Amino acid sequence: MGILHYIDVGIGFSLGMIVLATLVGTFSAGWLAVINSRTRHVQRGLASLLAELTEGAGRAAATALSWKLLWDRTVKLSPLGGGGVNRFLRWIRQMSAETIQREEFALLLLRAAASGDADALRVLGLDRQAAGGLFESVSRTILQQEVDNPELPAQVWRTRALARHAPDVTAKLFTQFDNVMDRVEDHVKAAGKAASAFFALVFLCLYPVNSLDMLARLSADEPLRRELVERAKGLDERELERQVIESGLFGDAFASGPAWTREHAARVVSPGVLLTWVLVSLGAPFWMEVLNRLLGLRSIMDRKAIDQRSLRDRDLSRSGSASPRAPA
């Protein structure tokens, strides 16, 4: 068995992992969307920022203010129907509050203070009259910036207006906002990995795919390897899941629904299935990168084989065309 054999095994295995990770990723992404995971992490990050800036206010007040500021930037949906409908509309509004820029956050905080919100006034250290005048000055300057510099992005207009009229507010928020949002991104990624690991475990409890059996099957079945390599070269993501499952790569794991028997439970806790759980939890992007590298390596090996064959054929042609000399 040469290097191409092992490369082809790796390609087929990567395809299988991509299919499994894509299935698991679909479930985990759907779940994170349902619970508004990103919005909640953004809200918690803003609440921690406000709690640090607000002297004498508790975590509950910072949490309430962070939700208010996030919701102020979403489209207002009028109450319709009963309580269930309104809860659904509330969920839709939460989904639309997944991102917020620091300039926008500062303006929302100023507007809340101008409207008399006690927690916002405490964060800024202003009274309502001063906050109202400051918000009006900033708003006028933003409009003037838009007239004078229409080619610049909106956040530049806002930053210049805030820096001119509210340098203390800008310095207080901007120095910590980016760090908070970086931590939010880390928490979002960690939540995504945790959800993927959980749903991978649930999925493999239902359909125990054994990685060790997959490797053995790929190593022994040359037609299967050749078929999967061809699938990988002309990768069609729309048909990939069906084609790989129908190829028999996963054995009988998808042949029928889960059977709650002692034999099924023994398969679930086998080392090969536990290895699959770890590998699937790495995610589809990881295995797509592995697949691309293996395909690139196989392409290089194919080119070298073609070059060597051409050189060998040329040498044979030269030796065959050389006529023997007659004896003197």
The confidence score (pLDDT) of residue 75 equals: 46
Render pLDDT for 76-121 as a digit per residue (tens, 0 to 9).
544 445 555 556 556 555 555 667 888 888 888 888 888 888 888 8
Nearest to 169 by CA among 116, 100, 114: 114
Number of H helices, E strands in the chain: 15, 0
Report, in this order, helix, strand and coil percent for the chain, each rounded to 5: 80, 0, 20
Beta carbons of 232 and 10 less than 8 angstroms apart: no
Mean pLDDT of 202-206: 89
CA pair distance 218, 223, nearest whole angstrom: 9
Q: Is 36 left (phi over 0), alpha (psi -120 to 50) or beta?
A: left
Nearest to 4 by CA among 310, 294, 306: 294
CA pair distance 166, 238, nearest whole angstrom: 53
Mean pLDDT of 203-213: 89
CA pair distance 149, 152, nearest whole angstrom: 6
The confidence score (pLDDT) of residue 186 equals: 92
- CA 77: distance to chain centroid? 29
**What are the CA-CA distances from residue 124 to residues 103, 127, 140, 143, 232 (Å)?**
15, 9, 20, 23, 58
Render pLDDT for 264-287 as a digit per residue (tens, 0 to 9).
778 888 899 999 999 999 988 999
By mean pLDDT, which of 15-24, 61-70, 109-118, 238-247 is the weakest? Answer: 238-247
Kindly calculate the radius of gyration of the chain based on its CA atoms and give it in whole angstroms.
31
The confidence score (pLDDT) of residue 274 equals: 92
Does 47 have pLDDT greater than 80? yes
CA pair distance 72, 50, nearest whole angstrom: 16
The confidence score (pLDDT) of residue 236 equals: 62
Does 250 have pLDDT greater than 70? yes
Nearest to 49 by CA among 177, 138, 191, 219: 177
